[in-house]
Structure 1
Amino acid sequence: MTDIQLDADGQLRHLLTTEGLPRALITQILDTAESFVPEVGSPPKKVPLLRGKTVFNLFFENSTRTRTTFELAAKRLSADVINMDVATSSRTKGEDDLDTLYTLQAMGADIFAVRHPDNGAAARFAANAAPHVAIINAGDGSHAHPTQGLLDVFTIRRHRPDFENLRVAIVGDVAHSRVAHSTIHALHTLGTTDIRVVGPSRFLPEDAEALGVRATTNTAEGLDQADIVMGLRIQRERIEGDALADVEDYHRDFGLTPANLAHASRQALIMHPGPINRGVEITGDVAYSAQSLILEQVRNGIAIRMAVMAMIAGAPASGRADNTPLAQT
């Protein structure tokens, strides 16, 4: 999939997954995003990099954070933004997804942010997109959510930049989480080797060894001296049958609670891609504690999505001899 993501010069053409992205390219995305983060107390930056471009948010699944931050990111790059309401589109009349793509391309689309329940859907869109059209995967099934993975490592880098020495614990429904897969791939590329996935056996990936993570059903063992603890919600929409037999038992055994977090490093930082389910995988007190980065993750999502769209459809930072940050051009 890396081949379809990059152009002949190795620059970003589409963004479908973090798996296989070169470390230099991930670092370039993070550095570019840094240039879009406003100074404390300053208003958000708006730049003309995508003036005259049209971005379609094509979401076949519900979303609050991802769709809204894509919209804000595109508008801050001065693009025109269309949010498609798929529930009221011609898809309900039987129109194929690719016909929707072709129709919107004919209206002058330049970038699609696509969220879809099927694994591989974003790659299918990319393989059939016009040469001038870019596809950004905003989440496809349980496969990948690359901008979320990138904003996760971006958030970590702003606090704990020494990826090689990080101990990261990801707790919850890892098996069905596209976020977990994308974040794990990005962490590995940046040099993190100590990644633990924690949860009941049905929520742990069967290919843990291939993913390069250590899987455990023992929360104390998994969180032991962890520097970063990321909670995940249970992906009920991707699980057949009863996803969880007993919420109270799950919350006690695997929830991000003060008791369970006592096993982590005293300076451990708490993350969660949202939406959070209080009393299931996390408590409200932990979610909004001084150690929590959850709301910062949301804010950083705007900068990351600005960086990705700017690098795909604007002037890539590596293409300028002076390496001036995109936000300053």
Structure 2
Amino acid sequence: MSHHADTALPLQHLLTLEHLPRTQLVALLDLAQRYAEGRDNRQALAGTGICTLFFEASTRTRLSFQLAAQRLGADVLNFDVSTSSTRKGETAQDTLKTIEAMGVRGFVVRHDQNGAVAALAAAANPGSALINAGDGRSAHPTQGLLDMLTLRQAKGDDFSKLKVLIVGDVKHSRVARSDLHALHTLGAGEIRVCAPRTLLPDDGTLDGCTVVADLDAALDGVDAVMTLRLQRERMEEGLVASLDDYHHDYGLTANRLRRAAPDAVVMHPGPINRGIEITDEVADGPQSRVLQQVRNGVAVRMAVLETLLAG
């Protein structure tokens, strides 16, 4: 896709933030900000059918999309495929086509395989809109947007002076990939990444980032720290020695946080492993924006649904 910053065509689907024009990204954030300030548009999607189609379990993403769609007046269907008749062998594409045939136009899809949502989008009717609610390790665009909204509320909309640190399992994190795409698009001044070598990607994801091995050094003077969830299967795969070792080397504590800028904010996509990525003192402390991220998730998902489906 060509990278023309100002050629924002109407969006049909939201599959990734990579190559999304800056004007479009900012327009989504501006609309979400209005919703975050309490403006509801209860009729924007009245009579529009929206289905949350989750081939992989989720709590906060599914609930906030559900709430966002309801606040816009949509008819919301929840389909948790991981517990449904797809167990009988129906393909994802047949499931999509069946629900489209009922007159549903919006699909919020989560899948454990990279590219699965894009493949469904390619098979969808011309009037349908698909939103990637997380696919494999590749992208989670609405999480990237809600993280940017949270950062913008804390630091203003000029990202060029910001130093942002991402800590943890970037290699397996679709959240990190979407955050990195958005931070680059919004012109973040410096993006630092800190993780065990086994959890750093080697696929170009970190182009334009500074990798800092030592967390204390990485935290020096940063304006925002985004910690990622450590998935416990990384221990079984031998990528992490032990949870205690991980916390010792990469856990964010109140003491460590003092190395960051005094008004630095702390973010985490959730669910949090308390005492591993982050201590209670930091997660529940004055610099934490974790619950604000969740609140912003509803506003961002309203903005995305309206932009794709109200046109």
TM-score in same-fold range (> 0.5): yes
Structure 2 residue 307 is the aligned partner of structure 1 residue 308? no
1:156–1:61 CA distance, 2 compared to 1 (3 A):
same
1:89 to partner: Cα distance: 2.1
| SS of equivalent residue, structure 2 residue 198 | helix
Deviation at 1:211, TM superposition (A): 2.9
Q: SS in structure 1 opposite 2:35? A: coil
Mapped to 2, the partners of 1:2 and 1:310 lie a distance apart of 25
Residue number among 265, 280, 287 corresponding to 2:283 in the alignment: 287
Ranges in structure 1 where 5+ consecutive residues have no aligned partner: 316-329
Structure 1 pair 301–265 and aligned structure 2 pair: CA distance change class (3 A): same
User: 70, 80, 98: which is aligned to 2:75?
Assistant: 80
TM-score, reference length from structure 1:
0.89
Give the structure 2 partner of residue 247 of structure 1.
243
Q: Amino acid of the residue matched to residue 230 of structure 2?
A: I
Task: Report how many residues are paired.
Answer: 307
Residues 1:132 and 2:131 aligned together: no
Distance in 2, Cα, partners of 1:140 & 1:239: 22
Match of residue 49, structure 2, among 31, 54, 59: 54
**Residue 116 (str. 1) matches residue 111 (str. 2):** yes
Deviations 1:270-312 (A, max 9, x none): 0001010001101112111111111000000001000001011
The answer on whether the counterparts of 1:98 and 1:128 sit within 8 Å (CA) in structure 2 is yes
Which residue of structure 2 lines up, in the alignment, with residue 205 of structure 1?
Answer: 201
| Cα distance in 1 for residues equivalent to 2:172 and 2:269 | 14
For the 8 Å contact 1:204–1:215, the answer to whether it is kept is no
The CA RMSD measured in Å over matched residues stands at 1.9
Partner of 1:256: 252
TM-fit CA distance, 1:102: 0.8
Q: Does 1:143 align with 2:133?
A: no
What amino acid does structure 2 have at the position aligned with 1:188? H
Residue pair 1:16, 1:123 contacting (<8 A) in 2 also? yes
- Contact kept, 8 Å, 2:8 with 2:23, in 1: the verdict is no
Residues 1:185 and 2:181 are matched in the alignment: yes
Change in Cα spacing, 1:37 to 1:212, as seen in structure 2 (3 Å) is same
Which residue of the other structure, out of 249, 262, 266, is the alignment partner of 1:266?
A: 262
**CA distance in 1: counterparts of 2:2 and 2:174, whole angstroms:** 17
How is 1:96-111 mapped onto 2 (pairs within 5 angstroms)?
96-111=91-106
1:166 matched residue in structure 2: 162
How does the TM-score come out when normalised to structure 2?
0.94
**Helix, strand or coil for the counterpart of 1:58?**
strand
Listed one character per residue, the Cα deviations across residues 8-60 of structure 1 (whole Å, up to 9, x for unaligned) are 97011100000000000001001111121244xxxx73520000101101111
Within 2, Cα distance between the matches of 1:164 and 1:314? 33
**Ranges in structure 2 where 5+ consecutive residues have no aligned partner:** none
CA distance in 2, matches of 1:88, 1:171: 33
Shift in alpha-carbon separation, 1:247–1:262, aligned structure 2, 3 A: same
**Mean Cα deviation higher: 230-239 or 157-166:** 230-239
SS of the residue corresponding to residue 47 of structure 1 reads: coil
In the alignment, which residue of structure 1 is the partner of 2:9?
A: 10
Cα deviation, residue 217, structure 1: 1.9
Change in Cα spacing, 1:274 to 1:253, as seen in structure 2 (3 Å) is same
| Aligned-pair CA distance for 1:203 | 1.1
CA contact (8 A) 1:171 1:199 kept: yes
Deviation at 1:239, TM superposition (A): 8.1
Q: Secondary structure at the match of 1:110?
A: strand
Tell me if the contact between 1:254 and 1:260 (Cα under 8 Å) persists in the aligned partners: no
Distance 1:98 1:237, change over 3 A: farther
**Residue in structure 2 matched with residue 70 of structure 1 by the alignment:** 65
Alignment check: 8 A CA contact 1:255 1:281 kept: yes
Please state how far the C-alpha of 1:216 moved relative to its aligned partner.
2.2
Structure 2 distance, partners of 1:267, 1:9, is 34
In structure 2, the partner of 1:325 is none
1:323 aligned residue: none
Does 2:276 correspond to 1:277? no
Task: Kindly state the Cα deviation for residue 198 of structure 1 after the two structures are TM-superposed.
Answer: 0.5
Q: 1:210 to 1:226 in 2, by over 3 A?
A: closer
CA contact (8 A) 1:54 1:110 kept: yes
Aligned-residue sequence identity (percent) comes to 52
Distance across 2 between alignment mates of 1:223 and 1:205: 20
- Distance apart, 1:115 and its partner CA: 0.4
SS at structure 2 position matched to 1:211: coil
Counterpart residue number, 1:321: none
